[in-house]
Structure 1
């Protein structure tokens, strides 16, 4: 099993439940009608969609990676970035056992407050074997500063030594709204590489047409899980 850490949220206002009801509760993720509508409309994705994808990778698609890999929810990643007290953050992260993980996946957003969201998403991956962070950004490094802030906050989890952050070549989005889907698809490809040691990460397959196809596949998956 993958380990997970999520932040508790307060119960939504009843009016929100009526206007934007939950269509799927999966592990620690809730998907609302608006989340699925954005995926289906091919015009964007949400924090909830990215969180759900990470949960699904952990519980189903890549559960064979076991304790070697961990997906950290977007909300927790944002909390890490904005945490002001190192001691409090260390206590918060202790249950994750990050020092023993080979792969740590984080979805980075460009918000400067503790709420996950903002206008751009990218993927940050810590590889313990190489002792460095790999940053996959579909807008050519637009989130580099945010990724560095997260990496710096996590360094004490690996003994306090500074870890290099490398901007990795990856497919670039051709519009202003597909960044969340690039995070999901890049993470999936990298997990496939981790599952088969030595195999290359096939990021080259992630084209605009592929992103559209994956949006529809995720919509069908959500519908299937909702029926189960």
Structure 2
């Protein structure tokens, strides 16, 4: 890591520094919220924005994290009003277990909470079982008044398991990308109900493999280089 942490690239609302590139280039490093935010911004621009912008929301991990320290529904409503959450069919919430708002890039695990509007349910994906389940329940309780009425129950989904203690964030990004692409693939059909749900679960385990997740680091690095050339 360099002593001076220079900006490598800014893309939409995300900025990556030399230190973030250092993390991506080392296979045993836990990826931080800046890297997750960058990839979600890219996915939103290249996939969601082109195919399902009205239906799908990829929530910022930093914004979701800060909501843990907001007490009133009014503050949350004002903060997220521009995102029109109440009109979305799928909302993806990256979940982190950092309990200290003064620590940047804190915590030790990433997982995923998905709100599915047609079911009016929250679904929880975690490559380490239920490590962040309590954090996911906190997030669902914070947002339930805005998107699901009073229903804040979290349904635990079977999730491909990570083979180490540092790839959790890459699993979150891979699962988000997979589910977004499934939504696009099946168009307006409700992919989470009845005959589609079992097929998607099978496809999830076939698609999200340790090899694919490992390659996600190189994929992100390639995207960064491509975007730098476009500047």
TM normalised by structure 1 equals 0.87
- The farther-off stretch of 192-201 and 169-178 is 192-201
Match of 2:90 in 1: 103
Matched, 1:37 2:38: no
Residues 74 and 116 of structure 1 are in contact (CA less than 8 Å); yes or no, is this contact kept in structure 2?
Answer: no
Match of 2:157 in 1: 168
Matched, 1:79 2:66: yes
Residues 131 and 163 of structure 1 are in contact (CA less than 8 Å); yes or no, is this contact kept in structure 2?
Answer: no
Name the CA shift for 1:137/1:48 in 2 (closer, same or farther; >3 Å).
Answer: same
Name the CA shift for 1:54/1:129 in 2 (closer, same or farther; >3 Å).
Answer: same
Report how many residues are paired.
213
How far has the Cα of 1:211 moved from its partner?
A: 1.2
- The farther-off stretch of 190-199 and 63-72 is 190-199
Match of 2:145 in 1: 156
Residues 31 and 48 of structure 1 are in contact (CA less than 8 Å); yes or no, is this contact kept in structure 2?
Answer: yes
How far has the Cα of 1:94 moved from its partner?
A: 2.0
Is there any run of 5+ residues in structure 1 with no aligned partner, and where? 1-16
RMSD of the alignment, in Å? 1.8
Name the CA shift for 1:120/1:189 in 2 (closer, same or farther; >3 Å).
Answer: same
Structure 2 CA distance for aligned equivalents of residues 82 and 116 of structure 1: 16
Structure 2 CA distance for aligned equivalents of residues 112 and 224 of structure 1: 35
How far has the Cα of 1:131 moved from its partner?
A: 0.5
Residues 160 and 208 of structure 2 are in contact (CA less than 8 Å); yes or no, is this contact kept in structure 1?
Answer: yes
How far has the Cα of 1:159 moved from its partner?
A: 5.6
SS at match of 1:124: strand
Residues 100 and 106 of structure 2 are in contact (CA less than 8 Å); yes or no, is this contact kept in structure 1?
Answer: no
TM normalised by structure 2 equals 0.86
Structure 2 CA distance for aligned equivalents of residues 125 and 53 of structure 1: 17
Structure 1 CA distance for aligned equivalents of residues 126 and 216 of structure 2: 18
